[in-house]
Amino acid sequence: MKLLRYGPFGAEKPALLAEDGTIRDLSSIIADISSQTLRDETLAHVRAVDPASLPAVSPGRIGACVGNIGKFICVGLNYVDHARETGKAPPEEPILFMKATTAVVGPNDDIEIPRGSTKADWEVELGVVIGKRAKYVPEDKALDHVAGYCVVNDVSERAFQSERGGQWTKGKSHDTFGPIGPYLVTRDEVTDPQKLSLWLDVDGVRRQTGTTGNMIFPVAFLVSYISQFMTLEPGDIIATGTPPGVGMGIRPEPLFLKPGQVIALGIEGLGQQRQQTIAARD
């Protein structure tokens, strides 16, 4: 299934994308697409509903595909070529950091360029949405704890991230730096999360092209690994790293985002995003 949320920011309603391309409201079936509804049994209940029996809607704004996110966990330098373009050695263990959940927005919402920003950057990533509590999960059981997958743009401010001291979180967490969606695609529709192509364009120029098959640490390993350090709960999201082609890696001169640009990105089978960059609001 392809599940989504639509409507004004903070008041989104649950929906699904039917096979005929119509969007069907799920409000009579579930309250939201969030921690309470991402368990296998609830998803099975939704899957059993005939989409034609649900109201068709013209959604207008598409919101983040998961609501009330508990943790937004990110994996750094998880593609060899991306690590090299940043001048760093590929990690021996996953690099983990957190993105503030206040950064989460819809897939087509504007992206703010923060005040004082000099190095705002883009990162297309495969997002993993947890559906079942995971603690000390073995790798061969890890994908059983996944509800589905989505597109993530892990927007970053590199100067805040690497030149202002401390950890990466401050460069990853500005409002709007976490577009997710348009859909949460349930795991039964993703045969192998390590066989998905990714891409990202800035102002119509292709900047990133990759495949999840080039991850250093694949999805199952990441879910298992992270569960050794913290309990993963339904509705948590893991952004699994980005392929090469980010702005900081462009040569001879890096290229960074400014207000007035357009970012488009997508992942095979998971949909596409499109954002405009604007100056930060108050």
pLDDT, one tens digit per residue, over 165-183 is 878 899 999 999 999 999 9
| pLDDT at 67 > cutoff 90 | yes
Question: Rounded to the nearest 5°, which phi and psi values hold at 42?
Answer: -70, -40
Per domain, the residue ranges of the chain are 2-57, 72-279
What does the alpha-carbon distance between residue 29 and residue 46 come to, in Å, rounded to a whole number? 7
Q: What is the pLDDT of residue 208?
A: 97
pLDDT in tens, 68-81: 999 999 999 999 88
Which three-class secondary structure string do you get for 228-268? CCCCECCCCEEECCCCCCCHHHCCCCCCCECCCCEEEEEEC
- For residue 80, the model assigns a pLDDT of 87
The fraction of the chain above a pLDDT of 70, given in percent, is 100
- Over residues 80-106, mean pLDDT: 91
pLDDT in tens, 194-208: 999 999 999 999 999
**Phi, psi at residue 135, to the nearest 5°?**
-140, 125
Give the pair of three-digit tokens for residue 136: 């000390």
Report the pLDDT value the prediction gives residue 82, as an integer from 0 to 100.
86
**3-state SS, residue 177:** coil
Mean pLDDT on 39-60: 95
Neighbouring CB atoms inside 10 A of 48's CB total 8
Topology of the domain comprising 72-279: Fumarylacetoacetate hydrolase; domain 2 (3.90.850)
pLDDT of the residue at 165: 82
Task: Give pLDDT, residue 133.
Answer: 98
Model pLDDT for residues 114-141, shown as the tens digit of each residue: 999 999 999 999 999 999 999 999 999 9
- Burial of 226-255, coded b for 16+ CB within 10 Å and e otherwise, reads bbeeeebbbbbbbbbbbbbbbbbbeeeeeb
